[in-house]
């Protein structure tokens, strides 16, 4: 039984226009520019992108329907504690901007996992790539499934037909238009996403009696959580699990995830890439604020009642759609706008995932095996891969159907369980020169095993206790908390399983680094001079900058960060005994040289 069949023709038109616009952008990039004939264009957008589209595309990659639906459900059930994840965005973006981007950008890699071969070995690169593929395929399944399932639960909007339509449109424009199409559709879809959420908030506040009324109800309903500094790591959401554990989550996404690294590398210069990372911060805070406020307005609207009886599913996620349709029905076009917002969020994430999966499969798994492959065949194969990943993710959507739990929790657990160990692998390589490839391999494997042991263990023994829904329930909460404190405090393994999922990224990253270092020292640590230049970041040197030079030498990693080729040429040019005319001749010589080399050195220019 479905509550609302409120979709008027105009709503379907708006949804169709969204899909058509995305297709249009994809076709435009398939027929313009280099017409997607080379992998440099198809996978790297010719490294010609500006910081604005890149920054909006960076947001879109990991802001899908999961956040649009899952965050309001989270705020409605547990209060605004989740909002503190915004504190993790500061370090979570500064570290990628000043550590990961320079290393990746100056190595001129196309995929993040090429770094692993340069620093360790081909085996480490392949394991890193396969882990990434595993993570993104499951995550894509959640992203395709979420909007279709939520809509079907409330509005009877055709479920699998929607999943199919979304998946096919997305596969088509990603396959036709490559990274340029994906980035520009992400820009368009991010705007639609913000518009849809804003519409729900404006109408919702207006229908719930205005801002003052909403504030009073959420305040009385104890939904405005204070700063919870409880150090207990098994406490689901505290300032520490969100603000500190969240930093590791952000690093695994915005620091080393291929979908984001590819965007940094598609920027026209390193400065543009760093600038796009900075520009992500305000938009990410806005996205977080919009979804948290939506959850508060929803609480103000229903604080006491529980409508799950009326819905086809008892999950709070479906409740969010019920709230939206309750607010927007009778306003023709707005339900269609929200549907467009939901699917824009989903499409922009799925297309980024497809494109990054096709890139790593080509760059890390196929090209190294078939170096003689022609450009045309390689590009064709990339397109076939994008199509096959599209179909695979439809299958994963069905798997999500079986996962239960809140979609936000599922997505964040996947990032923690799989993204965390990958982050550990890169940190091991960049910050610890002694790490060798055996250590890296064993560290990654042990990290993944421990991550899945913890993740699955927590699912089997879970007992999240949502706050009571009554509006003014201060007394019962106090009693309930006292009771839970008295009975809880599980010990031993159960305590291990009850580690907050927001610590998974940090915990698994640390496991990989520790195991990796132990194994490296046991099997003969790498000497600093044997490490490929440009693959180390002198983090320890910077952290212990107060130490005397000889000790830092002992601690190693005082090597300066890899210089760009142009910096090296400048250095040479300055030291050469050349006069002005000879310098000009030298620079024209370098330009000819760089045109002959492959694009890897195409920014070989000289400042005179
Ligand atoms: O929305 C999704 O698809 C995944 C859930 C959010 C992923 C993390 S949470 C912190 C960071 N901020 C975002 O908007 N996305 C990532
Ligand atoms: Na998205």
Rounded Cα distance between 353 and 47, Å, is 19
pLDDT score of 499 more than 60: yes
User: Residue 514, class by beta-carbon neighbours within 10 Å (0-12 exposed, 13-18 middle, 19+ buried)?
Assistant: middle
Ligand 1 neighbour 67 (Cβ under 6 A): yes
Q: Please give the mean pLDDT across all residues of the chain.
A: 82
Task: Give the residue-averaged pLDDT of 176-205.
Answer: 91
Q: What are phi and psi of 433, to 5 degrees?
A: -60, -25
Determine contact, residues 36/29, Cβ cutoff 8 Å.
yes
Distance CA(61)–CA(200), nearest Å, equals 22
Residues lying with their CB under 5 A of ligand 2, a single-atom ion: 60, 63-64, 345, 348-349
Give the Å distance between the CA of 287 and the centre of ligand 2.
Answer: 11
pLDDT for residue 148 is more than 90: no
pLDDT at 259: 92
Number of domains composing the chain: 2
Is pLDDT at 202 greater than 90 in this prediction? yes
State yes or no: pLDDT of 573 exceeds 80: no
Name the burial class of residue 305, with classes exposed (0-12), middle (13-18) and buried (19+) by CB atoms within 10 angstroms of its CB: exposed
Domain end: 373, 403, 433, which one? 403
Q: Compute how many other C-beta atoms are within 10 angstroms of the C-beta atom of residue 117.
A: 22
Looking at residue 71, what is its pLDDT?
94
Tens of pLDDT, residue by residue over 22-51, are 888 888 888 887 777 787 888 888 888 888
With 90 as the cut, is the pLDDT of residue 505 above it? yes
Q: Are 262 and 100 in contact (CB under 8 A)?
A: no
Nearest to 236 by CA among 421, 79, 450: 79
Confidence of residue 601 (pLDDT cuts 50, 70, 90): very low
Ligand nearest to the backbone CA of 186: 2
Structure token pair of residue 298: 């929803």
Ligand nearest to the CA of 57: 2
State whether the beta carbon of 99 lies less than 6 angstroms from ligand 1: no
- Atom of ligand 1 minimally distant from the CA of 284: 14
Note whether 539 and 552 are within 8 A (CB). no
Nearest to 323 by CA among 20, 27, 542, 77: 77
Burial of 444 (0-12, 13-18, 19+ CB in 10 A): buried
Q: List, in sequence order, every residue forming a beta bridge with 267; answer none if it has no partner.
A: 49
Q: Report the alpha-carbon distance of residue 335 to residue 328 in Å, rounded.
A: 6
Residue 530 lies in a domain: no
* Final residue before a domain boundary, out of 403, 419, 434: 403
For residue 180, name the pLDDT band (cuts at 50, 70, 90): confident
| 254 is a domain residue | yes
421 is written with which tokens? 């160990």
What's the rounded mean pLDDT across residues 54-68? 92
- Which atom of ligand 1 lies closest to the CA of 85? 10
Asked which of 347, 381, 403 is the last residue of a domain, the reply is 403
Quote the CA–CA distance of 490 and 162 in Å, as a whole number. 44
| Residue 101 near residue 270, CB atoms below 8 Å | yes
Question: What is the CB neighbour count within 10 angstroms for residue 306?
Answer: 11
Residue 597 resides in a domain: yes
For residue 586, give both structure tokens. 């030298």
Ranges 144-158, 168-182, 235-249, 333-347, most confident:
235-249
> Looking at the domain assignment, is residue 124 inside a domain?
yes
Instruction: Provide the token pair at 587.
Output: 């620079």
State pTM to two decimals. 0.84
CB burial class (10 A; 0-12, 13-18, 19+) of residue 559? middle
Which of 56, 57, 60, 67 should be mutated for ligand 1, with most atoms under 8 A from CB? 67
**Distant-in-sequence, close-in-space partners of 381: CB < 8 Å, separation ≥ 6:** 362, 366, 373
66 lines ligand 1 (CB under 6 A): yes
Give the closest residue to 411 by CA, choosing from 144, 110, 28: 144
What pLDDT is attached to residue 473? 47
582 belongs to a structural domain: yes
Using alpha carbons, list the distances in angstroms from residue 486 to 274, 462, 473: 49, 18, 20
Give the ligand whose atoms come closest to the C-alpha of residue 351.
2
Model confidence at 144: pLDDT above 70? yes
**Mean local confidence (pLDDT), 101-116:** 90
Cβ-in-10-Å burial (0-12, 13-18, 19+) of 308 comes to middle
Its ipTM equals 0.97
Greater model confidence, 484 or 423: 423
In a domain, 357, yes or no: yes
Q: Is the pLDDT of residue 425 over 90?
A: yes
End-to-end CA distance of the chain: 73
Is the CB–ligand 1 distance for residue 284 below 6 Å? yes
Pick the range with the lowest mean pLDDT from 117-121, 223-227, 346-350, 402-406: 402-406
Closest protein CA for atom 14 of ligand 1 = 63
Q: How high is the pLDDT of residue 281?
A: 96
Please answer whether residues 439 and 516 qualify as being in contact, where contact means their C-beta atoms are separated by less than 8 angstroms: yes
CATH classification at residue 176 = 1.20.1730.10
Tell me how far the alpha carbon of residue 189 lies from the centroid of ligand 2, in angstroms.
8
Q: Give the distance between the most distant pair of CA atoms in the chain.
A: 84
At 448 the pLDDT is 96
Q: How far apart are CA 479 and CA 465, in angstroms?
A: 14
Q: Is the pLDDT of residue 100 over 90?
A: yes
Reduced to 3 states (helix: H, G, I; strand: E, B; else coil), residue 564 is coil
Question: For position 599, what pLDDT does the model report?
Answer: 44
**CB 80 within 8 Å of CB 305:** no
227: pLDDT strictly greater than 90: no
Let me know: does 100 contact 256? Beta carbons within 8 Å. Answer: yes
Asked whether 62 and 221 are in contact (CB, 8 A), the reply is: no
Higher pLDDT, 552 or 483: 552
**Mean pLDDT along residues 111-131:** 93
Residues 545 and 397 in one domain: no
With CA atoms as reference, report the closest residue to 348 among 133, 144, 61, 140: 61
Pair 307, 215: CB distance under 8 Å: no
Extended strands (E) in 468-552 = none
User: Residue 192 pLDDT > 50, yes or no?
Assistant: yes
Sign of CA dihedral 187, 406, 69, 342: positive
558 neighbors 550 (Cβ within 8 angstroms): no
Average pLDDT rounded to a whole number, residues 386-400: 75
In a domain, 575, yes or no: yes
Contact 87, 242 (CB under 8 A): yes
| Gyration radius of the chain's alpha carbons | 25
pLDDT digits (tens, 9 = 90+) for 332-388: 888 888 988 988 898 889 888 888 898 888 888 888 888 888 888 887 887 788 778
Computed from CA positions of residues 258, 279, 229, 486, in that sequence, does the dihedral angle turn out positive or negative? negative
288, 194 Cβ separation under 8 angstroms: no
Q: Is the minimum distance from the CB of 63 to ligand 1 under 6 angstroms? A: yes
Please report whether residue 309 resides in a domain: yes
Q: What is the distance between the alpha carbons of residues 437 and 121, in angstroms, rounded to a whole number?
A: 6
- Residue 349 Cβ inside 6 Å of ligand 1? The answer reads yes
- Per-residue model confidence (pLDDT) at position 534: 84
Query: For 49, which DSSP code?
Result: B
Range of the domain at 147: 3-403
């Amino acid at each position: 039984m479905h509550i609302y069949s409120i979709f008027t023709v105009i709503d379907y038109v708006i949804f169709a226009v969204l899909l058509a616009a995305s297709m249009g952008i994809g076709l435009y990039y398939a027929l313009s520019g280099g017409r997607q004939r080379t992998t440099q264009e198809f996978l790297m957008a010719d490294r010609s992108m500006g910081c604005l589209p890149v920054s909006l595309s960076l947001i879109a990659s990991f802001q899908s329907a999961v956040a649009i639906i899952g965050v309001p459900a989270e705020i409605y059930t547990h209060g605004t504690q989740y909002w503190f994840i915004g504190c993790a965005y500061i370090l979570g973006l500064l570290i990628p901007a000043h550590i990961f981007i320079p290393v990746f950008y100056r190595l001129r890699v196309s995929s993040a996992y090429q770094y692993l071969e340069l620093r360790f070995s081909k085996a480490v690169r392949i394991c890193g790539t396969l882990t990434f593929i595993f993570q993104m395929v499951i995550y894509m399944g959640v992203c395709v499934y979420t909007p279709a399932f939520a809509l079907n639960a409330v509005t009877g909007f055709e479920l699998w037909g929607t999943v199919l339509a979304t998946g096919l449109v997305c596969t088509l424009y990603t396959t036709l238009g490559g990274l340029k199409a994906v980035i520009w559709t992400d820009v368009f879809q991010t705007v639609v996403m913000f518009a849809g959420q804003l519409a729900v908030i404006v109408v919702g506040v207006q229908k719930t009696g205005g801002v003052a009324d909403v504030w009073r109800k959420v305040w009385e309903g104890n939904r405005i959580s204070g700063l919870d500094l409880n150090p207990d790591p098994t406490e689901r959401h505290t300032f520490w699990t969100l603000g500190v554990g969240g930093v590791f989550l952000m690093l695994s996404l915005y620091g080393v995830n291929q979908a984001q690294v590819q965007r940094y590398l598609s920027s026209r210069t390193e400065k543009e890439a760093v600038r796009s990372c900075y520009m992500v911060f305000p938009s990410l805070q806005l996205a977080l604020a919009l979804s948290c406020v939506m959850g508060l307005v929803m609480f103000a609207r229903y604080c006491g009642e529980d409508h799950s009886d009326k819905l086809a599913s008892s999950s709070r996620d479906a409740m969010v759609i019920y709230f939206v349709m309750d607010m927007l029905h009778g306003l023709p076009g707005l339900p269609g706008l929200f549907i467009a917002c939901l699917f824009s969020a989903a499409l922009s994430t799925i297309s980024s995932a497809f494109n990054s999966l096709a890139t790593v499969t080509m760059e890390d798994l196929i090209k190294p095996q078939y170096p003689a492959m022609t450009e045309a065949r390689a590009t064709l194969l990339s397109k076939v891969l994008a199509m096959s990943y599209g179909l695979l993710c439809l299958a994963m959507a069905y798997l999500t159907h079986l996962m239960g739990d809140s979609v936000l929790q599922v997505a964040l657990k996947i990032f923690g369980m799989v993204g965390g160990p990958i982050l550990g692998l890169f940190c091991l390589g960049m910050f610890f020169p002694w790490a060798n490839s055996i250590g890296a391999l064993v560290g990654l494997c042990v990290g993944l095993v421990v991550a899945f042991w913890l993740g699955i263990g927590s699912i089997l023994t879970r007992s999240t206790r949502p706050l009571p829904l009554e509006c003014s329930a201060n007394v019962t909460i106090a009693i309930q908390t006292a009771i839970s404190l008295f009975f809880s405090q599980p010990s031993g393994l159960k305590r291990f399983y009850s580690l907050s999922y927001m610590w998974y990224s940090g915990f698994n990253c640390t496991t990989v680094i520790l195991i990796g270092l132990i194994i490296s020292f046991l099997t003969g640590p790498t000497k600093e001079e044997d490490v490929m230049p440009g693959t180390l970041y002198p983090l320890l040197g910077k952290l212990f900058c107060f130490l005397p030079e000889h000790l830092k030498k002992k601690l190693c990693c005082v090597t300066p960060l890899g210089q760009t080729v142009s910096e090296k040429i400048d250095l040479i040019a300055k030291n050469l005994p050349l006069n002005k005319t000879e310098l000009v001749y030298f620079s024209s010589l370098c330009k000819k040289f760089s045109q002959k080399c492959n694009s890897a050195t195409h920014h070989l220019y000289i400042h005179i």
